[in-house]
Amino acid sequence: MLSVTAVTAQAQASEAAPKYQPEMVRALADSLGVSEKAAVERLDEQDAQQRRLAGLAEDGISGDGAFFTAGGELTVNAGDAAEARKIEKSGLDARVPARGQAELEKIKAKLDTLAAKRVPGGVSSWRVDLASDTVTVEVNSGRGAATKAFLAEAAKHGKAVKVVKGQEKLTPQAVIYPGSRMTYNGYLCSVGYGAHDRNGKQFLVTAGHCVEDLPVLSYNNVRFAKATHTRFAVGTRSVDMGVAAVDSGNSIATSVGTWGNGSPVAVQGSRRAASGAALCKSGQTTGWTCGTVRSYNVSVTYTDQNGGPDTVVSGLASSTVCTEGGDSGGAYISGNQAQGMTSGGPIGQQCSGVNSGGSSYFQPLDDALNYYGLTLNTN
């Protein structure tokens, strides 16, 4: 996190390196139950398909959302059969959905508006799920007037909304702990990504709840940054992004640490991975854990375990990556593309290793960079 780390990362980057870091390949191979060679082929194909998708946009074919299937095939929603044929000519799978991303986003926006007025404490999250062509609502309890009103509104949209019951309550993943990788006022989080503004000033991009009161941040009990902005506010509709100005003489490494699972993963960009893509996360509590992207533009209700107000947070991404308290702010990466910072996850979730089952929510990095007008530092 400090300058000595950056120097080490630069020295490692100068050596010959494979296209993908070995730890990323091993994790994907284990999670899919395939050979490391097959895992590399999966990453290559995933990248090639996403490049073809970008090429469609350049040719004026916008589509209506895209997602990876469990088998690794990128499927693009088309507006009609003619557009589907154009998409398929590019080598990608296409379908004409009953609804599609644009219509589903409108439904979710209505639910967001309702939640902004009254926090639905019994609803863990709601998101557009492109694969199922629904807005998926995860519920931990049907009690409470606000929750009942939210579910009644969701029911008005019929099959366009899928309600999943029996889910866990969620919480931001910062916990009290003395002496940690990133500490502030007796609390801890995990370090996110380094970026710079047009004048070259250096910033740490992190989860907004990690810097809610704009504190001084420390690494190994030594100050390295001071928070300057956050969009997180307890009890109100929030966005979990924030930044801190990095002190002169310090810097954020351009490689993501893997906590003993191999050498750091070099960061070469921030191109957003499609739903279903493989990714891993680095955080001080659970270390290096991996899974896949589930959905984007997810809204969640975070529950304060100490009896404080519940908080609705919007604009997150969901994943099958396992996290625990203290992982907040930690870095998600897919291949060599930075994806975001840990926001939260189920209360009481326990992770048992790199590919342990679980779920989590992260703040997409590209949204934070765009909002604050910053450019990611790359390796």
Catalytic residue of the set 47, 129, 133, 240: 240
Active-site residue, 240 included: yes
Max Cα–Cα distance, the chain, nearest Å: 60
Residues written for the chain = 379
Catalytic residue of the set 47, 209, 251, 327: 209
Task: To the nearest 10°, report the CA torsion of 242, 246, 250, 251.
Answer: 50
Distance, in Å, from the CA atom of 20 to the CA atom of 40, rounded to the nearest integer, reads 8
Active-site residue, 229 included: no
Nearest to 279 by CA among 243, 319, 233: 319
- Residue 352, SS3 per DSSP: coil
DSSP state of 16: -
- Residue 304, SS3 per DSSP: coil
Active-site residue, 197 included: no
Catalytic residue of the set 124, 251, 270, 328: 328
Distance, in Å, from the CA atom of 46 to the CA atom of 310, rounded to the nearest integer, reads 38
Nearest to 215 by CA among 184, 246, 186: 184
DSSP track, 332-351: EEETTEEEEEEEEEETT---
Nearest to 210 by CA among 181, 239, 190, 238: 190
Catalytic residues: 209, 240, 328
